[in-house]
Amino acid sequence: MSSNDTHGGAIRRIVIVGGGTAGWMTAAPLAQRLARHPTQPCEVTLVESPEIGTIGVGEATLPTIRVYNAALGLDADDFVAKTQASYKLGIEFKDWGHLGNRFFHAFGDFGPALAGFGAHQHWLRLAQAFNQMPDLENWSMPSVMARHGKFVPPNEENPGMTDAYSYGFHFDASLYAGYLREYAVARGVHRVEGMIVEVEQHPESGFVTAVKLRDGRRVEGDLFIDCSGFRGLLIEGALKAGYEDWSNYLPCNSALAVPCASAPQLTPYTRSTAQEAGWVWRIPLQHRIGNGHVYSNGFTSDEQARRALLDGLDGAALDEPRQIRFVTGRRRKSWIKNVVAIGLSAGFVEPLESTSINLIETAVGKLLELFPERDCNPTLADEFNRVMGIRYESVRDFIVLHYKLTTRDDSEFWRYCAHMEIPDSLRHQIDLFRETGRVAIVDRGGFAEPSFVAMMMGLGAVPKRYDPLVDRVELRAVHGHFAALRDMITQAVARMPDHGAYVAAQAARGAPRAAA
Q: Supply the pLDDT for residue 106.
A: 98
| Boundaries of every domain in the chain | 13-85+172-244+328-392, 107-162+397-499, 254-325
State how far the alpha carbon of 320 is from the alpha carbons of 51, 77, 295, 307, in Å.
20, 32, 18, 12
Average pLDDT of the segment spanning 190-201 = 97
114 forms bridges with which residues in the sheet?
117
The residue type found at 159 is: P
Cβ atoms of 360 and 69 within 8 Å: the answer is no
The pLDDT tens digits of the residues spanning 378-403 come to 999 999 999 999 999 999 999 999 99
Cβ atoms of 293 and 302 within 8 Å: the answer is no
Cβ atoms of 132 and 111 within 8 Å: the answer is no
Average pLDDT of the segment spanning 117-124 = 96
Which residues sit in the known binding site?
19-22, 88, 344, 353, 357
The confidence band for 40, taking pLDDT boundaries of 50, 70 and 90, is confident
Phi, psi of 145 (to 5 degrees): -60, -45
Q: Is the pLDDT of residue 55 over 70?
A: no
Average pLDDT of the segment spanning 288-306 = 97
Q: Supply the pLDDT for residue 380.
A: 98
Q: Supply the pLDDT for residue 347.
A: 97
Q: Supply the pLDDT for residue 59.
A: 87
In CATH terms, the fold of domain 13-85+172-244+328-392 is FAD/NAD(P)-binding domain (3.50.50)
The pLDDT tens digits of the residues spanning 396-433 come to 999 999 999 999 999 999 999 999 999 999 999 999 99
Q: Is 88 a catalytic residue?
A: yes
Q: Supply the pLDDT for residue 167.
A: 98
Active site residue: 88, 333, 366, 404, which one? 88
The pLDDT tens digits of the residues spanning 239-275 come to 999 999 999 999 999 999 999 999 999 999 999 999 9
| Cα–Cα distance, 66 to 81 (Å, whole number) | 16
Q: What percent of the chain has pLDDT over 70?
A: 96
Q: What is the mean pLDDT of the chain?
A: 94
Average pLDDT of the segment spanning 441-462 = 96
pTM of the model: 0.95
Which residues sit in the known binding site for 7-chloro-L-tryptophan?
88
Which residues sit in the known binding site for FAD?
19-22, 344, 357
Poorest-pLDDT segment among 157-161, 488-492, 512-516 = 512-516
The confidence band for 16, taking pLDDT boundaries of 50, 70 and 90, is very high
